[in-house]
Structure 1
Amino acid sequence: MEKYILGSSLLLAASGVVEAQNQVENTVKGEVRVDKPHIVLIMSDQHRGDAMNCMGNSAVVTPNMDALAQDGTLFTNGYSSTPSSTPARAGLLTGLSPWHHGMLGYGRVGSSYRYEMPAMLRELGYFTFGIGKMHWFPQKTLHGFHGTLVDESGRVESDDFISDYRLWFHMQAPGKNPDATGIGWNDHGAGVYRLSEELHPTAWTGQMACEMIRNYDKGSGEPLFLKVSFARPHSPYDPPQRLLELYEGRNVSEPVVGEWCKDKEYAVLQDVATAPKDAAFGNFGKEYAKKSRRYYYANVTFVDEEIGKVIKALKEEGMYDNALICYISDHGDMLGDHHHWRKTYPYEGSVHVPYIVKWPAKCGFAKGGKVEAPVELRGLLPTFLDMAGGKVPEDMDGCSLAGLMRDGDGAWRKYIDLEHATCYSPDNYWCALTDGKVKYVWRFHTGEEELFDLSKDPYELKNVVNEKRYRSLLLTLRKAMVEHLSERGEEFVKEDKLQVLRHTVLYSPFFPDENPVDTGI
């Protein structure tokens, strides 16, 4: 146990590492294939897909994300099917679509699923460990991990819970307040982190990941599955001062505003002083929004720096070449686009996420490529199983990205489905289909439709649903939506027609827990 040095025996006990080490020592070595790649899943919270330099946004400083993409594959149309934290993480965990894992909007992740990423990789001989934000319930649920060290952004969902990050913080800075910056976790205002940056949760997550990599027994014959989950750039937008200074004078763009929302009530310029700090909608002026973006981008750069440290540790320990490394986020952040803030919307700022895969060297896939086929978080678990020599279940909705790399997109899905149950406003209850080039949106409560030609209008400035030249495309996508929703029964589709719903369906019949909870957002 001496190799798991995290600064305190108290933290070791809290993390479950003692039990994890005992389990690893009892693993039958003959059942482990030493040629399996290490798998490192790096994710962040609320990182929108265009907030990376390698995605064409020159205002954002992301050299390590860019380098990872250059050494692997950049999937330019990566999506989060249910763009809020918990349902997105359920899809990542299970490899299933929203209807099949059961969460159609924000609630509590189920306690146990038939498919769980850490458990399935553990069965394949991996030592499995998670660091950072899991956003599960109960908050120390393992889902097959040998152990976790969690940072839950201050959320406490049971009386006896305190996150491992906060335990560590109180040992490093007794008596200080980890929330001293004074910005709530859904606020879109911004401020500089008020404490030493070494105490920031982004720094902690990177440090813990590097310690695990350096302490891992490379001679054990057991491959490592390590999930590194950063709680930023999700608000609070609270970067260290030195990183904010990188953005002085940089051309940070102002939000885009579509023609379809200019007459909305929230489009009227509002007083920042009197508006809710976490308002889901609102026009607070261009300078306010640009300031939020600047601080948000600085948080992205902070995460990028820590990713660089993780990659450096993998290289120093001789693990990088034989590692499958992925970088994704659970959903995006509207950052004021169309006067929308936060997430849960069908628009690109909310649903489009970073999606980078660095393949093990032995795969022989070309480096630095870009793939336009639509991919989603559910695709990572089948990819990991594929690369680890496991079997991908036939009823798993996700498909292996390695198969896409090997076979091309000829047999790949045409569209990826997106949806979110009612949140923030009654009409924000929708389902969408996209291939990254077009997007069709169906509003469950109102029956309204939206159609965007992303190839010509990537910022979704014009809803072309009523334009004659798009009539054929509209009918094609409407039919595809009918086919997608048909399995849900006549409440959703009747006589081949989409149905308007009077109530919200938050959990499908496939949700594994008997008494699901609507926790709000």
Structure 2
Amino acid sequence: MATRTPWRRSVQVWTLVTWLSHVSAAPNILFIMADQFRYDLIDPVRTPHLHGLRRQGATFLRHYSSTPSCTPARAAILTGRSPWRHGMLGYGAVAERYPQEVARSMAAAGLRTSVVGKNHFGWNRTSGRPIAHEFSELQIYDGLGNGFKNGSEFDDYDRWFQQRMPGQDPLASGGLDWNSWRGAPYEYSERLHPTAWTGQSARRVLSSLSRASAKAAQPFFLKVSFHRPHSPYDPPARLLNITPSPVRPPARASDGWDSRFRECSAQGSRDAWCGEVDHDSLSMARRSYQASISFVDEEIGSILGLMGELGILGNTFILFTSDHGDMQMDHFLWRKSYPYEGSAHIPLLMKWPDNMQADFVDRGSVISAVTELRDLYPTFLDLVGEWNTSHEAEFDGRPLTWLLRRGGAAGARAAKWRQWVDLEHDICYNETNHWNALTDGATKFIFHACSGEEQLFDLVRDPGETRDVSKDAERFEQVKRWRQRLIAQFDAEGRGPEWVQHGILQRRCSSCLYSPNYPGPTADCHKASTQGDLAVV
């Protein structure tokens, strides 16, 4: 056996010390998601713990999900790219591998990567395991199965549930289903609820990560992803009973633009995407959704409480967001995949470690720049010291920390932040729901592909989008300017004549679920938007 020279040993020791100093300098990162969580439902009463994060950190007022349904939103988080560049223009299958992925980068930077809850990255039926996308530890509940052996998926929560309630259906409450708009109390003990399981699992993983981190001086990247308040709206009766019917009624158009959704062929069915419902059913649905949010907030509070007990809260960067919102009957619409605020506008809260305070804005600050899910991955890279200008061509997102840091170079970068963000969704629920949009958070321009109709909303004066001002004479030049911005985007992305011809927006009802940039065998812009077992939207 060859002996190691003192020179080699010193090099190895120097390398180890350098690596340890690098990883110990990086904060822990706790990335919390709640699926289908609207932007406007965080307050001191309903969500005291999320409200606490808002007071102790920063609120991003104009944060959006570019393609507001589950899988394309998660592709944006996974890759740091825009819809056209990661390739998912609607609800389809997340590719099995991308050239760059957030967990891979975090691991390369020396962080231990774990995920608890909903990933929605797909399931390998042969191995009976989820597609990991390089997370090293996974405890998954995607909401796609029931734990029965003849089901399409049999994830960690479903197995756990079946061990405690053999032969029972975890989705049995109230006759609801994955996409139901109706609400009902959870019929089992609340400790069996997916929200409780996600919180319990996260606390168990945190305890393990804390012990491991103390031994190896290795920070962690933990994603905790709650499935709820995504339907079924099935909160514990304890919370449902104390949740009043919302005072504010659902948004309605003053000029009648949303009357087309008041009645539809799906109306009345349990998974209807549109149509007016009776007062009592509407009240129960909205109460159940908001009580589901309160339950998620309780579990987040328990997670943060444990972190305080473990002594790791002060050295952890915390980010909370959602993949998309929920229309909650605004404009007679349910769920997501729409360009309107209830669907595409989502919350974003951040709280940073104590040792970053000198460089960051005051706690409780509000950030008004327009941001999107593509910005999360660059933010995580910046936190661990791995973002540099060479990344700018690889990502469409930028580090949100630019908007948090005070003055100097960070201020100059923040001054160059994007002025607006692109939104789009391929056909979903019905053939007319097919659109592109742009927004700066103050104005929103929408192009409906099937009809060629345009809409313009003044979000400052009219945050509920109750009046389409696109036909107002004084808005003619403004509409033209936004239209030209969308045309310029399509040209810059090289979308071709199916999108722009002779300076005119095209498309009509030609489906385009995947762009040519999608890294998989279905990279075909003419694929129909149905993907086998993808039952939950």
TM-score (norm 1): 0.89
> Is 1:224 paired with 2:217?
no
Which residues of 2 match residues 39-58 of structure 1 at below 5 A?
39-53=29-43
**Matched residue SS, 1:480:** helix
Q: Deviation per CA, 1:405-464, whole angstroms, max 9, x where unpaired?
A: 224542110001111001122221111111111100011222110000000000000000
Contact 1:453 1:464 in 2 (8 A): yes
Is residue 415 of structure 2 the alignment partner of residue 410 of structure 1? Answer: yes
- 2: distance between equivalents of 1:454 and 1:263? 17
SS of residue paired to 1:346: coil
CA contact (8 A) 1:253 1:290 kept: no
Q: Distance in 1 between matches of 2:530 and 2:182?
A: 27
**Equivalent AA in structure 2 for residue 47 of structure 1:** F
Match of 1:485 in 2: 490
- Residues 243 and 160 of structure 1, relative CA distance in 2, 3 Å threshold: closer
Q: Which residue of the partner structure matches residue 85 of structure 1?
A: 70
The TM-score, its normalising length taken from structure 2, stands at: 0.87
Specify the code of the residue in structure 1 equivalent to 2:451: T
CA-CA distance at 1:34 after TM superposition:
0.6
Residue 352 of structure 2 corresponds to residue 362 of structure 1: no
**3-state SS, counterpart of residue 479 of structure 2:** helix
Aligned residue number for residue 304 of structure 2: 311
Q: Cα deviation per residue 1:129-180 (whole Å; 9 max; x = unaligned)?
A: 0110111123611111102110021338997741100111122333433123
- How far off is 1:88 after superposition? 0.4
**Mean CA deviation greater in 105-114 or 171-180:** 171-180
Residue aligning to 1:180: 172
Tell me the equivalent position of 2:451.
446
Match of 1:264 in 2: 259
Map of 1:394 onto structure 2? 392
Taking the aligned partners of 1:512 and 1:40, their CA distance within structure 2 comes to 28
**Post-superposition offset of 1:29:** 7.4
Structure 2 portions without partners, runs of 5+: 1-14, 125-129, 524-528
Amino acid at match of 1:141: I
SS at 1:373 equivalent: strand
1:511 lines up with 2:518 in the alignment: yes
Which of 357-366 and 231-240 deviates more? 357-366
How many pairs does the alignment contain?
Answer: 487
2:155 aligns with: 163
Could you say which residue in structure 2 is the equivalent of 1:128? 113
Question: Once the two structures are superposed, what CA deviation does each residue of 1:371-399 show, in whole Å capped at 9, x if it has no partner?
Answer: 11111111111000001011352220000
4+ residue segments displaced more than 6 Å: 156-160, 269-272
Q: Distance in 2 between the 1:277 and 1:346 partners?
A: 23
C-alpha RMSD of matched pairs (Å):
2.2
Paired residue type of 2:483: R
Alpha-carbon distance between aligned partners in 2 of 1:261 and 1:130, rounded to the nearest angstrom? 44
One-letter amino acid matched to 1:124: A
For 2:222 and 2:82, locate their aligned partners in 1 and report how far apart those are by CA, in whole Å. 23
Contact 2:246 2:283 in 1 (8 A): no
Question: Deviation per CA, 1:267-309, whole angstroms, max 9, x where unpaired?
Answer: 259997xx21111110113442232111100000000000001
Q: Could you tell me how far apart the structure 2 residues matched to 1:66 and 1:74 are?
A: 10
1:232-243 to structure 2, matched below 5 A, reads 232-243=228-239
Distance, in Å, in 2 between the alignment partners of 1:340 and 1:353 is: 17
Give, in angstroms, the shift of residue 262 of structure 1.
5.8
Q: Distance in 1 between matches of 2:24 and 2:73?
A: 32
Contact residue 111 and residue 138 of structure 1 kept, 8 A: no
1:50 to 1:378, Cα distance in 2 relative to 1, 3 A: same
- Aligned-residue offset at 1:504: 1.1
Displacement, 1:30?
A: 5.3
Query: 1:502 & 1:282 partners in 2: Cα distance?
Result: 22
Tell me whether 448-457 or 253-262 shows the greater mean CA deviation.
253-262
Amino acid at match of 2:510: H
Identity across the alignment (%): 40
> Is the Cα–Cα contact under 8 Å of residues 89 and 515 in structure 2 kept in the other structure?
yes
C-alpha distance after superposition, 1:162-214 (max 9, x if no partner): 11001111223334331231310100111000000000000000011111111
Q: Which residue of 1 aligns with 2:375?
A: 379
Distance 1:471 1:241 in 2: 51
Alignment of 1:452-463 (within 5 A): 452-463=457-468
> Aligned AA for 1:397?
D
CA distance in structure 1 between the aligned counterparts of 2:26 and 2:241, rounded to whole angstroms: 43
Question: Are residue 31 (structure 1) and residue 48 (structure 2) matched?
Answer: no
Aligned counterparts of 2:485 and 2:283: Cα–Cα separation in 1: 38
Unpaired runs of 5+ residues, structure 1, are 1-26, 55-59
CA distance in 1, matches of 2:431, 2:276: 19
SS of residue matched to 1:482: helix
- Structure 1 residue 404: Cα displacement: 1.8
Measured in 2, the distance between the counterparts of 1:189 and 1:41 equals: 29
Provide the rounded CA distance (Å) in 2 between the counterparts of 1:91 and 1:31.
30
| SS of residue in 2 equivalent to 1:325 | strand
Query: Aligned letter for 1:518?
Result: T
Indicate how the Cα distance of structure 1 residues 114 and 271 shifts in structure 2: closer, same or farther if over 3 A, else same.
Answer: closer
1:343 maps to which residue?
336
Relative to structure 1, is the Cα distance of residues 346 and 211 closer, same or farther in structure 2, using a 3 angstrom cutoff? same
User: Residue type matched to 2:482 in 1?
Assistant: L
